[in-house]
Amino acid sequence: MNKSEYLESTVKTYKISKEEDLLNKYKGKNQQVKDDLKTEYGDKLYQPFNSGSYAKHTAINTRFDFDLVAPFKKNAFGANGTLEDTYTKTYDFLYDKYSSIATIRKQRVSIGVIFDTDSDGDQVCIDVVPGRELNQDTYDEDKNLNLYVYKRYGELEEGSDYIKTNIHAQIENIKETPNKDKVRKIIRLFKIWKTTKYDSPIKSFFIELAVIKAFDKQSITGNLWDSLKTVIEYLKDEVVKDSFTLIDPGNSNNDVAKTLNCNEKQWFSNDCNNILRRIEDNEENIKTFFPQNEKFEEDDDTESNTSVFSYGVAGSTYTQTPPKTERFG
Amino acid sequence: MNLYNNELDVFISVDEILIEKLVKIGDLYFPKEYGGFLVGYYNETFKIVYITDYVLPMKYENTSTSFKREPSGLEELFEELYIKTPSQYYIGEWHTHPNGISKASSLDRIALNKIAEDKSTPIENPIMLIIGYQRENITLSFYVSVNGKLYEYEQRK
């Protein structure tokens, strides 16, 4: 088998554009929440924007990740307003606005708006992340935000109830990476692998930074399988080292590598080793580690009929770039 | 501007301002040919294609009688177009005929049919706009490829 072609095909079956109807529902709700926040808070709020895997183009279609960042002005809730006020008042607003049609849930740094299941059985969830600029009128310049950490989910040291971050820098980090198309494919492949694991402690942000670091530190060339193999080998060897760090581009004091403890890093390294050895033993095993999304395995082309003609599209995704070089006269 | 093909009973809808932009861009490269990609979306019944935007190639070769474009380097741009609301995607091609009419040449027919058959793109019926520049006279022709044949559209008021 051609492992690279298989992986390319696998990534395609997980493109979020394959789930077009659901994606459109997400986009609609996302816009609705964005508009409602702007209407409610006006110039107390900078332009809300999407972060997370959707904005970074690393999402897979088995789990959508729509994070909506709401960057508030420092004095949005009064001169003496606290960061906690930013969080709780945003929660109150979302609760008042949507609790009749959605469950509103306080999460670690975000507020989950989980819309009721619709008649198609689809459920849309938008995570609203309230943030506050560090000093009055500085956000436009530096894009830095403080996020309130809801204590029940807080994992920071006692006494710490906020995280400083720069979500724009996190998004730009991946956009500015050389080979970003290949980097994104490999991030997606790791996420696909993660779906085969039960309750993996590895966070998507860890995967993202780890893959970018591998590309930064290694010479990664060749087809998709060659590249993935080099990344897996790098992580197998490096992730267990004390010196291995993954610095959050939005906050240099945040080492994302520390989101895994020593045992978890060792397990991850063992998993990487296992993937390589098993595929070396039998290349068909690649299908076990990186299974295709059965729902979107390559279909036959749709029929075309000029007697009752309509524009034809094979499958349900249109994101591909135009076909190869073509000459016109 | 609305265009219709009677035989196929399908429409193209495109803003005249967009066409004017393409005419101006094409004029910049006169007397050589130039062109690029058309972007848009279909309606729910796939009977109407809305042309909403265009993308210019990063790599191309052109002479007074030919235009060759490459899609490389545009992957991110198309991904960004897709996540817009509504989603927009590649739906066809456009190019100019300097000192000529907008009629499709045999090379144009072959190229558009090849695109229709290309399995790397999901659209089965690519659109092609040709802009002809004859002295002061600008002509436009829209085509679609269906089962290896090109069908031309006529303008509807």
Q: Which residue reads 């998507």 in tokens?
A: A204
A9 near A286, Cβ under 8 Å? no
Q: Shortest Cα distance from B138 to chain A (angstroms)?
A: 17
Q: Report the pLDDT value the prediction gives residue B7, as an integer from 0 to 100.
A: 84
Q: Are A199 and A83 in the same domain?
A: no
Q: Are A278 and A206 in the same domain?
A: yes
CA distance B32 to A140: 44
A162 within domain boundaries: yes
CB within 8 Å: A318 and B123: yes
In this complex, is the C-beta atom of A321 within 8 Å of any C-beta atom belonging to chain B? yes
Q: Report the pLDDT value the prediction gives residue A158, as an integer from 0 to 100.
A: 46
Average pLDDT of every residue of chain B:
90
A161 within domain boundaries: yes
Domain that holds residue A285: 175-289
Q: Is A327 helix (H, G, I), strand (E, B) or coil?
A: strand
A324 within domain boundaries: no
Average pLDDT of every residue of chain A:
88
CA distance A231 to A280: 16
Q: Are A39 and A157 in the same domain?
A: yes
A189 within domain boundaries: yes
A129 has pLDDT over 90: yes
Backbone phi, then psi, for A310, in 5-degree steps? -140, 160
Domain boundaries, chain B: 2-7+18-156
In this complex, is the C-beta atom of A141 within 8 Å of any C-beta atom belonging to chain B? no
More confident residue, B119 or A10: A10
Q: Are A15 and A162 in the same domain?
A: yes
A33-90 confidence digits (pLDDT tens): 999 999 999 999 999 999 988 888 898 988 776 899 999 999 999 999 999 999 999 9
Residues in chain A within 8 Å Cβ distance of B145: none
Q: Report the pLDDT value the prediction gives residue A305, as an integer from 0 to 100.
A: 40
Q: Which residue reads 């990344």 in tokens?
A: A231
DSSP codes of every residue in B37-50: EEEEEE-TTSSEEE
CB within 8 Å: A322 and B93: yes
Mean pLDDT of A203-229: 92
B128-139 confidence digits (pLDDT tens): 999 999 877 899
Q: Are A199 and A103 in the same domain?
A: no
A224 within domain boundaries: yes
Q: Are A160 and A185 in the same domain?
A: no
A40 within domain boundaries: yes
More confident residue, A92 or B87: A92
A322 has pLDDT over 90: no
A73 within domain boundaries: yes
* Nearest CA among A320, A176, A17 for reference residue B71: A320
A309 within domain boundaries: no
Q: Report the pLDDT value the prediction gives residue A298, as an integer from 0 to 100.
A: 57
| Domains held by chain A: number | 2
Q: Report the pLDDT value the prediction gives residue B6, as an integer from 0 to 100.
A: 83
CB within 8 Å: B124 and A324: no
Cis ω before B86 (30° cut-off from 0):
yes
B69-80 confidence digits (pLDDT tens): 998 888 888 888
DSSP codes of every residue in A65-112: -EEEEEEE-TTTT-TT--HHHHHHHHHHHHHHHHTTTEEEEE-SSSEE
| Percent of chain B topping pLDDT 70 | 99
Closest partner residue to B49 (CB to CB) among A311, A314, A325 is A311
Mean pLDDT of A233-237: 97
How many CB atoms within 10 Å of residue A274? 14
Q: Are A65 and A196 in the same domain?
A: no
In this complex, is the C-beta atom of A320 within 8 Å of any C-beta atom belonging to chain B? yes
B156 has pLDDT over 80: no
Q: Are A161 and A215 in the same domain?
A: no
Query: What class, spelled out in words, does domain B2-7+18-156 have in CATH?
Result: alpha beta
Q: Shortest Cα distance from B13 to chain A (angstroms)?
A: 14
Mean pLDDT of A13-19: 84
Q: Are A163 and A15 in the same domain?
A: yes
Backbone phi, then psi, for A275, in 5-degree steps? -55, -50
Q: Shortest Cα distance from B73 to chain A (angstroms)?
A: 9
A220 near A230, Cβ under 8 Å? yes
More confident residue, B39 or A314: B39
Q: Are A36 and A153 in the same domain?
A: yes
Count of A–B CB contacts within 8 Å? 131
Which stretches of chain B are assigned E, i.e. beta strand?
2-5, 10-14, 35-42, 48-55, 59-62, 67-70, 89-98, 127-134, 137-146, 149-152, 154-156
Mean pLDDT of B61-75: 91
Q: Report the pLDDT value the prediction gives residue A157, as an integer from 0 to 100.
A: 44
Q: Report the pLDDT value the prediction gives residue A320, as an integer from 0 to 100.
A: 61
* CA-based nearest residue in chain B for residue A322: B71
CATH number for the domain spanning A244: value is 1.10.1410.40
Q: Which residue reads 């044949």 in tokens?
A: B149
Q: Which of A25-34, A181-190, B63-72, B75-84 has the lowest mean pLDDT?
A: B75-84
Q: Shortest Cα distance from B70 to chain A (angstroms)?
A: 5
Residues in chain A within 8 Å Cβ distance of B121: 320-323
CATH number for the domain spanning A141: value is 3.30.460.10
| Percent of chain A topping pLDDT 70 | 91
Q: Are A158 and A22 in the same domain?
A: yes
Q: Are A26 and A120 in the same domain?
A: yes
Q: Report the pLDDT value the prediction gives residue A317, as an integer from 0 to 100.
A: 54
A281-310 confidence digits (pLDDT tens): 999 999 999 999 988 875 433 333 444 677
CA distance B112 to B109: 5
Q: Report the pLDDT value the prediction gives residue B51, as an integer from 0 to 100.
A: 96
Give me the interface pTM, i.e. the ipTM. 0.84
